[in-house]
Chains A and B, each alone.
Chain A
Amino acid sequence: MRALCWHGKADIRCDTVPDPRIEEPRDAIIKVTSCAICGSDLHLYDGFMPGMEQGDILGHEAMGEVVEVGREVTNLKVGERVVIPFTIFCGECEQCRRGNFSVCERSNRNKDLADKVFGHTTAGLFGYTHLTGGYAGGQAEYLRVPFADRTHIKVPGGLGDEQLLFLSDIFPTGWQAAVQCDLQPTDTVAIWGCGPVGQMAIRSTVLLGAKRVIAIDTVPERLAMAQAGGAVTIDFMQESVVERLNDLTQGKGPEKCIDAVGMEAHATATLDSIYDRAKQALMLETDRAHVLREMIHVCRPAGVLSVPGVYGGLLDKFPFGVLMNKGLTVRTGQTHVNRWTDDLLRRIEEGQIDPSFVITHKVRLEDGPAMYKTFRDKEDGCIKVVLKP
Chain B
Amino acid sequence: MRVKRWSSVVLVMMLSAAVALTGCGSSNNGAAGTNAGTNGGENTPSASVQDTLIIGRGGDSASLDAAIVTDGESLKIAHQVYDSLVEYKEGTTEVQGSLAEDWAVSEDGLTYTFNLRQGVKFHDGTDFNADAVVFNFTRWSDPASEYKFEGDSFDYYDSMFGPDGKRVIKEVKASDASTVEITLNQPQAPFLQNLAMTSFGIASPTAIQEKKENFKNEPVGTGPFVFKEWKRNDSITLEKNVDYWKEGLPKLNKVIVRSIPDNSARFNALQSGEIDLMEDLSPDDLATLEANSELQKIERPSNNVGYVGFNLKKEPFNDVKVRQALSHAVNKQAIIDAFFAGQAEPAKNPMPPSLWGYNDSITDYEYDLEKAKSLLADAGYADGLPGEYTFYAMPVPRPYMPDGKKVAEVIQADFEKIGVKVNIESPEWATYLDDAQAGEKDDLFMLGWTGDNGDPDNFLYALLDKDASNNYSYYANDELHELLVAAQTETEQSKREELYKQAQEIIKVDAPWIPLVHTTPLLAAKANLKGYVPAPTGTEYYSNIHFE
B partners with A: no
